[in-house]
């Protein structure tokens, strides 16, 4: 079953972006290719309960089980050994990706305190957007009583374009609530 946002993208947004950006083909129109969700904690190696609870809330918000990321090098000053679990990562594609994006824009971001929009400056030179959230409890699926501690997470939205202005146009068309531009 197709996601509502995916259907809207294919039927409405894609043709409009083709016209707006002056592209010759609908295949040249930028699209979201994946969304990556990351979180990390130095306590994962010692606190297995925290790791288990973090996996549970990440699975709840994304609909997919996270994979463990491990340290590639030992760093004595950080008390880190090669192979220690340092984070968790989820990569969303297809319908899950569109569903998560829609939930992020329509449900999660409005729950942020004093939310004025996200920064337009977070798009890198490769056309990807990275958003950092300071607490996971803004997601409706996360039960405050079932988490060990409040954790932040990073959400990276990867697009098919290498042009930041086209990526910005795509995200705006999909409904990303950017902050208002200051008039000079």
The enclosing domain of 108 has a CATH number of 3.30.1440.10
Domain contains 115: yes
What confidence score (pLDDT) does residue 182 get? 63
Q: Is the pLDDT of residue 183 over 60?
A: no
Q: Is residue 62 within 8 Å of residue 100, measured between CB atoms? A: yes
Is residue 88 a part of any domain in this protein? yes
Half-sphere exposure for 44 (CA within 13 Å, toward CB):
22
For residue 109, being part of any structural domain is answered with: yes
The residue with greater pLDDT, 21 or 46, is 21
Number of domains in the chain: 1
Write the DSSP string, 33-77: EEEEEEEE-GGGGT-HHHHHHHHHHHHHHHSSPPEEEE-SS-BGG
Query: Is there a domain that residue 37 lies in?
Result: yes
Residue 98 CB neighbour total at 10 angstroms: 22
Is residue 69 within 8 Å of residue 86, measured between CB atoms?
A: yes
**For residue 46, what are the domain limits?**
31-174
Cβ count within 10 A of residue 63: 14
Query: What pLDDT does 179 receive?
Result: 83
Q: What is the mean pLDDT of residues 47-73?
A: 88
pLDDT in tens, 134-146: 888 888 888 887 7
Scan for tokens 């829609």, then name that residue.
102
Single out the residue of 41, 49, 44, 69 nearest to residue 136, CA to CA: 41
Taking all residues of the chain, what is their mean pLDDT, rounded to a whole number? 87
Looking at residue 146, its pLDDT comes to: 78
What pLDDT does residue 35 have?
A: 95
Does residue 21 lie within any of the structural domains? Answer: no
Q: What is the separation, in whole angstroms, between the first and last Cα of the chain?
A: 46
Helical packing angle, 48-62 and 94-103, nearest 10° = 90
pLDDT range class, residue 36, cuts 50, 70, 90: very high
Q: What pLDDT shows up at residue 14?
A: 92
The enclosing H or E element of 89 equals strand 85-92
- Whether 169 is covered by a domain: the verdict is yes
> How far, in Å, CA of 33 to CA of 160, rounded?
6
12 falls within a domain = no
Q: Is the pLDDT of residue 1 over 70?
A: no
Mean pLDDT value across residues 66-88: 80
């Amino acid at each position: 079953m197709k996601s509502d946002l995916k259907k809207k993208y294919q039927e409405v947004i894609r043709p409009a972006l083709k016209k707006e950006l002056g592209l010759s083909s609908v295949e040249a129109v930028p699209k979201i290719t994946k969304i990556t969700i990351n979180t990390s904690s130095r306590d994962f190696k010692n606190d297995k309960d925290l790791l288990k609870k973090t996996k549970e809330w990440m699975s709840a918000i994304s609909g997919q089980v996270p994979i463990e990321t491990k340290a590639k090098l030992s760093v004595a000053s950080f008390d880190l050994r090669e192979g220690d679990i340092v984070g968790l990562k989820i990569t969303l594609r297809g319908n899950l990706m569109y569903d998560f994006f829609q939930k992020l824009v329509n449900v999660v971001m409005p729950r942020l305190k004093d939310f004025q929009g996200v920064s337009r400056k977070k798009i890198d030179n490769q056309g990807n957007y990275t958003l950092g959230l300071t607490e996971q409890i803004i997601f409706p699926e996360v039960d405050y009583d079932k988490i060990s501690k409040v954790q932040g997470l990073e959400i990276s939205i990867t697009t098919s374009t290498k042009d930041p202005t086209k990526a910005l146009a795509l995200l705006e068309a999909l409904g990303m609530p950017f902050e208002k531009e200051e008039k000079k």
